[in-house]
Chain A
Amino acid sequence: MKKVIFVLLLLVACMGPVQKKLPQSAEVMTGTSALEVSFNPNSMKDLLMCQEANVLVDMKNVGALDIEGGIRSFILEEQTLKPVKMEEKQKSFDLEGKSQFNPRGGVAQFEFKVKNVGLPEQLESYDSPLILQACYTYKTSAGVQVCIDPDTKNVNPQKPCRAEPVSLSGGQGAPVAITRVEPLMVPEGNKISPKFAVYVQHVGLGTVVTEEGAELACTGGEESKARLSSYATVKADLQGRPLSCTPNPVRFEAGKEVRFICDNEDAKFGSAEGTFTSILNVEISYGYVNTAVLPMKITRLPGQESCK
């Protein structure tokens, strides 16, 4: 036993200084969702004829951006179910997104009361869906670390970085995600003009519309199909210098990556700048629509005829 203790002490003494690990900070700019809407399980799905029902809605902003001026709207079969307060049927909302000081994002819950105004005669029960739509403008912002390498001939093998494609996984805290960036160092004389092929994809569960179409998506009225189409505008800059991107706006297709290329003809880098890592800022602006459905069942009690 003493020998064991002696050996252990020897080992402990011989161990080098313990390397302290850096504390991990919460990653805010990750995730593939923005707003999550759902009906609370405590919502009343079954109601009797002529009765009221309380429906609870949970909204969580798990994205990286605050939502401001969003609209939430209920769609219901008004011949059967009517809102108790009409003004609650369509309302605007704001919800804070994730941040370092609020890594989980903002949460809101609200109540919506509906009342059954009667059933078609001779029907004992009737199914009617209650649909909630949340429409808002959103942005996907990402700072992608890219290598600017004017040494296209690889004269200096010892480089701090290499101009290689950068893959981004896990999203940027928005339903539209930048999936990868491919830098291209295009030689122009003795300098290079970097171009960036940016790939984005709609990875959320809702629907992408144009930024102008966000409000329209939740309200009726005359609208042009262009505003409700799945388009987003893009912006990019490198070292504070804006880049021009084409195509812009970019159109999303379900399940497919779309690409746009950004560059700045005036932004050239020569050997004087050396090889270095910089940040390519990409911002994609769009409108987004989330939907949740609560199937409701209205039952007639024996003897009930109509609601007065």
Chain B
Amino acid sequence: MKKSVLFVLFLLVLVSCARKSTEPQVTDFRYGTEGIRMEFVQNLPPPRLFDREPFNVMIQVENRGTTTIGQQDGAIFLSGFDNTIITGINTNGIPIPELEGRGPFIPKGGINVVNFKGVIQSLSGKRIDKYQPTILATACYHYETVASAQVCIDPNPYAATSQQRVCSPGTISPGSQGAPIAVTSVQVDPSPGKTRFTINIQNVGGGDVFKFGGQYLDKCSPYNPGLGFDEIDFVRVADVTISGTKLAGCKPVDNQGFVRLANGMASLYCEYGGMLGQSAYLTPLNIILHYGYRQSIARPIEIRPVA
């Protein structure tokens, strides 16, 4: 008993004697695998409704990533029901409100709600006990992944002389970047005069990724013909820079700058020839990806005729 009391006291002393930092800490804000998170607000819609009633669906939208979404950057659509039974729902969707992404000084992304209002028509003439559609809320938006990693450049990796090196080139895992498309790893392959990077990209958000662009965003709507096979699973490699130098000629990137994901993954091969000096050094590698993203949530409801 006495020993335990002494131990607790010791811990208290440690804690109380820890220095308090006076300077604000910059926390790493690039984490997470989500872009936008949608949720049906509780009881909107309720699980059971009756005909000849208003139909209200409220969806809470939260930016869980690091990219700020503007009003032109996406919309949310409601589908899955017969529009002759539930009327008044706009098939053009509701633009996603401006949601700020998480930042160094913004610990939490923007949250807003999107409200759909409609009316349930009479079901009495349909001679049914109930109508059970599944309400599907689909979000289509543009997003960005910014991945930054410290890579080791060794201009002379196989030099005969032995030198103390600052770093060794290898594989780096940048972790999640606060976006649904993540750079999962960067492999550094040094060679004299050139360093090759293999940048692995993966769809970690659970939704569908498609080409970045306004026309593709429109096609994402469930009320549109839909995205073609040459439009889905494409990510645009907006920028790959190292030491301020843009790496061009990364492969396999098409002439529009898109790389295709296969099974939700892709690998980007880039080369860097502008190395400085003879000794290894660390330098930041920045990768920026642009894409469109689609994700859905569903809720089954039951509509009963009153009479």
Taking A22-B47, A155-B228, A160-B298 as contacts, is the C-beta distance between A274 and B131 under 8 angstroms? no
Chain B residue with Cβ nearest A279: B126
B111 interface hit (Cβ, 8 Å): no
A201 interface hit (Cβ, 8 Å): no
A126 contact set on B, CB distance < 8 A: none
A239 interface hit (Cβ, 8 Å): yes
B85 interface hit (Cβ, 8 Å): yes
Chain A residue with Cβ nearest B294: A158
Taking A274-B222, A274-B223 as contacts, is the C-beta distance between A161 and B128 under 8 angstroms? no
The CA-CA distance from A36 to B27 in the complex, in Å, is 76
The CA-CA distance from A278 to B128 in the complex, in Å, is 12
A240 interface hit (Cβ, 8 Å): yes
A 125-173 contacts with B by CB, 8 A: 141-143, 145, 148, 151, 155-161
Chain B residue with Cβ nearest A101: B307
Nearest Cβ distance between residue B65 and chain A, in whole angstroms?
A: 20
Question: Is the Cβ of B84 less than 8 Å from the Cβ of A143?
Answer: no
The residue among B47, B123, B131, B222 with the most chain A CB atoms within 10 A of its own CB is B222
Chain A residue with Cβ nearest B80: A160
Nearest Cβ distance between residue B278 and chain A, in whole angstroms?
A: 53
The CA-CA distance from A29 to B129 in the complex, in Å, is 6
B82 contact set on A, CB distance < 8 A: 148, 239, 276-279
Chain A residue with Cβ nearest B136: A160
Question: Is the Cβ of A160 less than 8 Å from the Cβ of B133?
Answer: yes
A257 interface hit (Cβ, 8 Å): no
B84 contact set on A, CB distance < 8 A: 239-240, 278
B 99-155 contacts with A by CB, 8 A: 123, 126-129, 131-136, 138
Nearest Cβ distance between residue A134 and chain B, in whole angstroms?
A: 23
A 250-288 contacts with B by CB, 8 A: 270-279, 281, 283
The secondary-structure label for the interface of chain A is: loop
Question: Is the Cβ of B81 less than 8 Å from the Cβ of A277?
Answer: yes
Question: Is the Cβ of B223 less than 8 Å from the Cβ of A271?
Answer: yes
B227 contact set on A, CB distance < 8 A: 155-156
Give which listed residue, A25, A270, A272, A279, contacts B85 with CB less than 8 A: A279
B 61-113 contacts with A by CB, 8 A: 79-85, 91
B37 contact set on A, CB distance < 8 A: none
Question: Is the Cβ of A142 less than 8 Å from the Cβ of B81?
Answer: no
Could you say which interface size class chain A belongs to?
A: 35 or more
B83 contact set on A, CB distance < 8 A: 273, 276
Could you say which interface size class chain B belongs to?
A: 35 or more
A306 interface hit (Cβ, 8 Å): no
B79 contact set on A, CB distance < 8 A: 160, 274-276
Taking A161-B80, A274-B91 as contacts, is the C-beta distance between A145 and B126 under 8 angstroms? no
The CA-CA distance from A158 to B80 in the complex, in Å, is 11
B34 contact set on A, CB distance < 8 A: none
B296 interface hit (Cβ, 8 Å): yes
Question: Is the Cβ of B48 less than 8 Å from the Cβ of A276?
Answer: no
Give which listed residue, A29, A156, A276, contacts B226 with CB less than 8 A: A156
The CA-CA distance from A281 to B123 in the complex, in Å, is 11
Nearest Cβ distance between residue B83 and chain A, in whole angstroms?
A: 7
B196 interface hit (Cβ, 8 Å): no
Give which listed residue, B48, B223, B224, contacts A22 with CB less than 8 A: B48
Question: Is the Cβ of A25 less than 8 Å from the Cβ of B127?
Answer: no
A 157-192 contacts with B by CB, 8 A: 157-161, 190
Chain A residue with Cβ nearest B77: A274
The CA-CA distance from A64 to B129 in the complex, in Å, is 11
A 55-91 contacts with B by CB, 8 A: 64
Give which listed residue, A145, A273, A277, A283, contacts B223 with CB less than 8 A: A273
A46 interface hit (Cβ, 8 Å): no
Question: Is the Cβ of A276 less than 8 Å from the Cβ of B80?
Answer: yes
A94 interface hit (Cβ, 8 Å): no
B129 contact set on A, CB distance < 8 A: 25, 27-29
Question: Is the Cβ of A29 less than 8 Å from the Cβ of B127?
Answer: yes
Chain A residue with Cβ nearest B84: A239
B85 contact set on A, CB distance < 8 A: 278-279
Chain A residue with Cβ nearest B133: A277
The CA-CA distance from A29 to B133 in the complex, in Å, is 18
Chain A residue with Cβ nearest B82: A278
A158 contact set on B, CB distance < 8 A: 136, 138, 208, 294, 296
B304 interface hit (Cβ, 8 Å): yes
Nearest Cβ distance between residue A241 and chain B, in whole angstroms?
A: 9
In the complex, 10 of the A-B residue pairs with CB atoms within 8 angstroms, ordered by the A residue number, are A25-B304, A27-B129, A29-B129, A145-B133, A155-B229, A160-B79, A271-B225, A274-B79, A277-B131, A278-B85
Q: What is A's interface to B at a CB cutoff of 8 Å? A: 22, 25, 27-29, 64, 100, 141-143, 145, 148, 151, 155-161, 190, 239-240, 270-279, 281, 283
Q: What is B's interface to A at a CB cutoff of 8 Å? A: 47-48, 79-85, 91, 123, 126-129, 131-136, 138, 208, 222-229, 294, 296, 298, 302, 304, 307
Top 4 A-B residue pairs of the complex, sorted by shortest distance between their CB atoms: A160-B80, A143-B128, A141-B127, A155-B226
